[in-house]
């Protein structure tokens, strides 16, 4: 049975996150954005308030929230500041490979560190030379007794400059592509770990992004989350559980953009009337609202799949692609409604637009989501309709006129190229429409030739 009601517990989770978003995140969002600085104190407060730790499984001391619960929280925080939300929920991305892997000892050792104290864990597949093509990882892991030695550079690491731990995807041999990829938890304090400068960005300026370099870093085998050959699948499984949250980021940020535009449209006057009285503006608001509502439904569906142990890969890709692309359209139209004021830094729309522009890029670009969805539809999707060449013959015969077993008495031959149906004992020598020879015809009705 379908049910879109939130439980009482979920309502509470949402309200708690909303309160934190409005009281603690919104007031500081622009301040830290201006300074390209991550508000670590706010991240700490979120940890203390339980806003950012909900999804750690109960078995490891967490609250055991599902992904639907998580998306409710994410939407609220992103509505206040998409940048701070990225840094706040990066722990979920960093922890997901730990949660999904089979290394029980590593789960026990590390997951508790995020429940009991404020610690940050970053996730890194991307490198200076690759992002989308995860099989192209170059960061090398070389076996050495009970350890692996890591050498290489990870780039674009969210919270990279401030994290205490890293989930690192590396390869035992770049030539092996998917077959060589493995994953480890690496501690920042270990010898040979070097953190780069914060990367200057268009938006999400209050979310730290940095490169991390590994120079002969010794990683004990007990920290391995995926053995060589299993790392690629672990990375993809991680994304299918975290992409709905990116969709939820987009829903929150778009929702704020729409709310600010509504407020402005109800107050601003032009041509003797309020903007909100103009149908052109009402239509913009209608499209914004439609996109936000649709996005939220897709996000909830993907999160629900994950919570119910249904493979969320496709629903996650659909929700991320749709919600993130819709959000930038919503914010763009919101800015349009504010006119010149929308373009200033006095009002929040320009920041929302800058911040959300990364959504269709990180955790798999929109192009990659289309490849995943297109590949699924063309290989796994089971159509309901018959193939074109097997469609019923409806052009020349009303179904009531058809003979036994729903077929006309006469033989019928369908040209596989253009679809023309020829009635007669044998197919024509060539198709009168597309001129293909009789071999292009398939018998679709009547008695089989002797």
Ligand X SMILES: Cc1cc2nc3c(=O)[nH]c(=O)nc-3n(C[C@H](O)[C@H](O)[C@H](O)COP(=O)(O)OP(=O)(O)OC[C@H]3O[C@@H](n4cnc5c(N)ncnc54)[C@H](O)[C@@H]3O)c2cc1C
209 forms bridges with which residues in the sheet? 158
Give the nearest distance from C-beta 169 to ligand X in angstroms.
8
- Distance set, CA 418 to CA 380, 389, 390, 395, 422 (Å): 27, 10, 13, 14, 12
Catalytic residue chosen out of the listed positions 8, 363, 382, 450: 363
Nearest to 47 by CA among 27, 71, 83, 77: 77
Question: Can you read off the two tokens belonging to residue 425?
Answer: 């004992």
Known active-site residue 187: no
242 vs 411 by CB, closer to ligand X? 242
Binding footprint of ligand X on the chain (CB under 6 A): 122-126, 130-133, 156-158, 201, 204, 209, 358, 361-365, 367-368
125 vs 245 by CB, closer to ligand X? 125
- Distance set, CA 233 to CA 45, 80, 238, 250, 448 (Å): 34, 34, 8, 26, 50
**DSSP for 214-227?**
EEEEEEEGGGEEE-
Cα gap 281→294, rounded to integer Å: 20
211 vs 408 by CB, closer to ligand X? 211
Give the nearest distance from C-beta 46 to ligand X in angstroms.
18
Give the nearest distance from C-beta 182 to ligand X in angstroms.
15
Cα gap 292→356, rounded to integer Å: 14
Residue nearest to ligand X (CB): 131
Give the nearest distance from C-beta 368 to ligand X in angstroms.
6
Q: Are 309 and 73 in contact (CB under 8 A)?
A: no
103 vs 159 by CB, closer to ligand X? 159
Cα gap 55→62, rounded to integer Å: 7
Cα gap 206→227, rounded to integer Å: 35
291 vs 320 by CB, closer to ligand X? 320
Give the nearest distance from C-beta 23 to ligand X in angstroms.
26
Q: Give the residue numbers annotated as catalytic, written as ranges.
A: 363
């Amino acid at each position: 049975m379908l049910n879109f009601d939130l439980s009482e517990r979920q309502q509470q989770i949402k309200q708690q996150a909303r309160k934190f978003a409005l009281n603690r995140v919104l007031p500081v969002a622009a301040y830290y954005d201006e300074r390209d600085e991550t508000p670590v104190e706010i991240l700490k407060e979120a940890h203390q308030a339980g806003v950012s730790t909900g999804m750690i499984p109960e078995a490891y001391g967490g609250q055991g929230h599902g992904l639907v619960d998580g998306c409710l929280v994410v939407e609220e925080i992103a509505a206040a500041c998409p940048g701070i939300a990225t840094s706040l929920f990066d722990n979920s991305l960093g922890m997901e490979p730990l949660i999904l892997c089979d290394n029980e000892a590593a789960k026990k050792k590390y997951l508790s560190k995020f429940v009991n104290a404020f610690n940050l864990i970053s996730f890194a597949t991307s490198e200076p030379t690759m992002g989308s093509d995860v099989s192209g990882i170059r960061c090398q892991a070389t076996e050495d007794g009970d350890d692996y030695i890591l050498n290489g550079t990870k780039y674009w690491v969210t919270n990279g400059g401030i994290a205490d731990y890293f989930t690192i995807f590396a390869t035992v041999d770049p030539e092996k592509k998917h077959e060589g990829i493995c994953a480890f938890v690496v501690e920042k304090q270990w010898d040979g770990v070097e953190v780069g400068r914060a990367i200057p960005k268009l938006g999400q300026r209050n979310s730290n992004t940095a490169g991390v370099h590994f120079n002969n870093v010794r990683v004990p085998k007990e920290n391995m989350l995926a053995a060589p050959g299993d790392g690629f699948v672990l990375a993809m499984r991680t994304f299918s559980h975290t992409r709905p949250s990116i969709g939820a980021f987009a829903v929150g940020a778009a929702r704020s953009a729409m709310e600010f535009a509504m407020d402005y449209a109800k107050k601003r006057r032009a041509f003797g009337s309020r903007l909100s009285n103009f149908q052109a503006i009402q239509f913009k608001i209608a499209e914004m609202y439609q996109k936000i509502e649709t996005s939220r439904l897709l996000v909830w569906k993907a999160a629900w799949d994950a919570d119910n142990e249904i493979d969320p890969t496709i629903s996650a890709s659909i929700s991320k692609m749709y919600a993130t692309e819709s959000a930038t359209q919503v914010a763009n139209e919101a800015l349009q409604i504010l006119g010149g004021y929308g373009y200033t830094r006095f009002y929040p729309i320009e920041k929302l637009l800058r911040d959300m522009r990364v959504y269709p890029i990180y955790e798999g670009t929109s192009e990659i989501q289309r490849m995943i969805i297109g590949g699924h539809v063309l290989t796994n999707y089971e159509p309901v309709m018959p193939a074109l060449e097997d469609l019923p013959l409806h052009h020349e015969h009303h179904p009531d006129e058809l003979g036994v077993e729903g077929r006309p008495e006469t033989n019928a031959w369908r040209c596989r190229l253009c679809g023309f149906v020829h009635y007669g004992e044998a197919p024509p020598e060539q198709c009168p429409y597309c001129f293909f020879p009789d071999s292009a015809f398939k018998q679709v009705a009547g008695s089989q030739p002797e």
